[in-house]
Amino acid sequence: YREALEACQRAARRMKNLTESLLELARLDAGQEPMKQERFDLLRIANECIDMVRPLAAERGIQIHCEVAAIECLGDAGRIGQVVTNLLTNAIHFNRDQGEVRLSARSEAGAVVLTVADTGQGIPVQDVPHLSERFYRADKSRSRIQGRNGLGLAICKAIVDAHRGSIEVSSQVGVGSTFTVRLPQARLDTAATT
């Protein structure tokens, strides 16, 4: 009975997470998720996200390197933190044991370019164009077993799109993947609003 109840509890948690993710996507699609337009320090957000995922990385001996300077972005700090956390979690999840994850950011032509690179299994070239599709899983066998629902990158893309940014991926099987996010950079004459 205990095992049956625990299995039901796990299934209920998965369904709750799936439902919440679907509702979030629906609100983002409908423009009902307001995005704040405020200045925020990307380094602070990056450090908070790294602190959150560090125990997950430590379980597998994965090193996280942060090469983010203090750069002011314009947008919703909480939502951008959600994107960074998701990309870091994926970089850890699909990495090899004792691997590395590198988070970096730079200013480039009025934009902030943030990259999350891993030394993991990589993504087959035919899967790359579909990664931000809902429920798409490049590694179908592992993701089902580990309870992943294939919505994380779709949510990331919706958040980045709402910031008038872009997200791209480059990958090589057996070498690793790099996700690149471009976001508006706060200009000196931009007033912060909440």
pLDDT, tens only, 3-32: 777 677 766 666 656 566 566 666 666 666
Q: For residue 131, report the phi and psi dihedrals to the nearest 5 degrees.
A: -60, -30
Per-residue pLDDT for 85 more than 90?
A: yes
- Interhelix angle 42-59/77-93, rounded to 10 degrees, is 30
Q: Which of 131-135, 153-157, 185-189 has the largest mean confidence?
A: 153-157
Look at residues 103, 84, 104 and name the one whose alpha carbon lies nearest to residue 155. Answer: 84
For the chain, the C-alpha Rg in angstroms (whole number) is 17
Smallest Cα–Cα separation from 87: which of 113, 58, 53, 59?
Answer: 53
Task: List the one residue out of 188, 181, 193, 192 whose CA is nearest residue 132.
Answer: 181
User: Does the pLDDT value for residue 143 go beyond 50?
Assistant: no
- Indicate whether 191 pLDDT > 50: no
Q: For 38-74, what is each residue's pLDDT tens digit?
A: 899 999 999 999 999 999 999 999 999 999 988 888 8
Q: Name residue 39's amino acid.
A: R
110's torsion region: left (phi>0), alpha (psi -120 to 50) or beta?
A: left
Is residue 100 over pLDDT 50? Answer: yes
Q: Mean pLDDT over residues 109-130, rounded? A: 87
Question: Which pLDDT value is given to residue 145?
Answer: 40
- Greatest CA separation for the chain: 63
